[in-house]
Each structure stands twice: as C-alpha cells, then as structure tokens.
Structure 1
C-alpha cells in the first residue's frame, strides 16, 4: 500500500535515525494513509450532492427520526457542538432538504425534519454510500473481517494506555 508523501518522508527519517520498531511506524502510517484516502473518497462521493460528511450524518439521523429531532439531540447524536449543528442545518435548509418547525407544546423549541426533497436525497445517497462501503470490504471473507475487527480493537486498546 502506498503511503502518503508526508508519511514516506517521515518513515525515511525514522529509518535513517534507526528508531525502534520501524515496522510499527510503517503500520501506523499505513493506517493513517488508508483513513485519509477513505475520507477523500467519501468527500468525493458526497460532493456532487452538495453534502459534506457532517451534512450526510445529519441527513442519516433525521431520516431515522420521522417525527424530527431537536437541534440539541442532533448535536449529541452526531458528536458535535450545537453551533456546528446550527451551521450544518442552515446549509441543509438553504438547499431545501430540511425544515425547522416549532415543537408541539413549546413554540420556543425546534424540531428538525427532512423535506420530501431531503428524504429523496437521503434515500439516493444512502444507497450509493452503502454500496461504496460494501465495496471497500467486499473482498474480505467473514473470518478476515472478524480478524480485522479484532486487530483494530487490539490497537485501539493500546491507545487507552498511551500518552498522547
């Protein structure tokens, strides 16, 4: 697997300095390069629809909540700040993908719902996104997927004890 240029340079420096565990460093850089490539490809897939990853996440959450969600609930579920959600919702509203409604019983509270256009967009993009994700792991057998899951979890546990 090709490393991003910056990781190639760092790996060469690590080799020249004879740092310990060059193979561990290479694995880390491979993981980072793969994650960056997945992020770029995801952004490329979403761009023709006028979506960022953040907007996509909100569409996904709202599609699963036909009665709508409060902005605070969206922020919590998406793992972002309320200010970030407000900006994302502003963009989705400009594209007529969502509507803001007063919550029943409390006109000060908002409920966010997908418009018909938003529902159609969600259906189209989710189908495309699901096929893309399936293609990423499509050539892995079930045992390979289980092994990859276990290995990633093992590395993630190492992060819990490591100082940043």
Structure 2
C-alpha cells in the first residue's frame, strides 16, 4: 500500500524519534490512505452524474422509502437537518426531488423523487452498489470477516 505523502513524512519522523510503534503507525496510515482513495474514487464516479455522496444518499433514501421529511432524511443519513436542507434545495434546483407541504400538517414538508430523479437513481444505484462491493473483491469471505473484526476492535479505543 502506497501511503499518501503526508503520512510517509510523518511516519518517517515518528520512526526517527522512536515515539511510537512504527508498524502500528503505518497500519493506521494505511487505513487512512485507503479510505481517502475510496472516497476519491467514489466522488469521481458520482460526479459523472453531478452528484455528491450526500446528494446520492438522499436519492437512495427516497428510492427506498418513496416519501420522507427532511428530518427523517437527516436521521437516516446521520447528518444535520441544515445539511439535508442544503442538499434537498440543490436537488430541487436540479429537478431530481419535489418538496410538497404535508397534507395533515402544513408546517411539515414531504420530499419525493421526481421522474428525472427516479430515472437517475435507477440508472446508477445497482452499479454503484456493485462498485462498493468490488472494493473487497480480492478478499475471501473469511478475510472480509476478519477485516471487519479488526476494524471493530480498533474502534473500541479507550476515551481519554
């Protein structure tokens, strides 16, 4: 795994000063470099459709649930309501989603896919999902289970 330049430089300095286990440092930097590479490729793939990961997530949630409020979208995607509001507004501008007043409570807004949004998400959802799965294509099922176990174990860190 080729580390990003900043991690190579930092690892070299840490190794020189012998302040931490260099293998542990390089393992962490490998994870960070891999994550950044995945994020970059994901961003590039989605940008072909004028989507960010956040905008894609909104479309996927609407594809699955058909109609949601901004608060429900924020909860399901794990981001703040102001972030979702911004994403929804950009999707409305691009005619991918509709905003309508809820019939029971006019203070609430329902978000749904437009026909254009449905066509787009149907076009890219399966392919993008398969691409995500392909990231681990060189691993066996057992290795994937081990990787998940290791990553989960790493994040059971003690809080300082």
Partner residue, 1:33: 33
Partner residue, 2:61: 61
CA distance in 1, matches of 2:145, 2:134: 17
Determine if the alignment matches structure 1 residue 151 to structure 2 residue 127.
no
Stretches of structure 1 lacking an aligned partner (at least 5 in a row) = none
Which deviates more, 116-125 or 86-95?
116-125
Q: TM-score, normalised by structure 2?
A: 0.96
**Runs of 4 or more off by more than 3 Å in structure 1?**
none
Partner residue, 2:105: 106
- Is the partner of 1:19 in helix, strand or coil? coil
Q: Deviations over 1:66-95 (max 9, x none)?
A: 2x1011111111111111111100110111
Determine if the alignment matches structure 1 residue 74 to structure 2 residue 73.
yes
What is the deviation of 1:127?
Answer: 1.6
CA distance in 2, matches of 1:162, 1:7: 24
Determine if the alignment matches structure 1 residue 142 to structure 2 residue 114.
no
Q: TM-score, normalised by structure 1?
A: 0.94
Report the aligned-residue RMSD. 1.0
Determine if the alignment matches structure 1 residue 52 to structure 2 residue 52.
yes
What is the deviation of 1:20?
Answer: 2.5
CA distance in 1, matches of 2:92, 2:47: 17
Stretches of structure 2 lacking an aligned partner (at least 5 in a row) = none
Q: Deviations over 1:30-77 (max 9, x none)?
A: 0100001111000000001010111011111111112x1011111111
Which deviates more, 75-84 or 6-15?
75-84
CA distance in 1, matches of 2:127, 2:34: 20
- Is the partner of 2:99 in helix, strand or coil? strand
CA distance in 1, matches of 2:111, 2:20: 52
- Is the partner of 1:55 in helix, strand or coil? helix
- Is the partner of 1:27 in helix, strand or coil? helix
Q: Count the aligned residue pairs.
A: 160
CA distance in 2, matches of 1:71, 1:150: 34
Determine if the alignment matches structure 1 residue 24 to structure 2 residue 3.
no
Partner residue, 1:97: 96
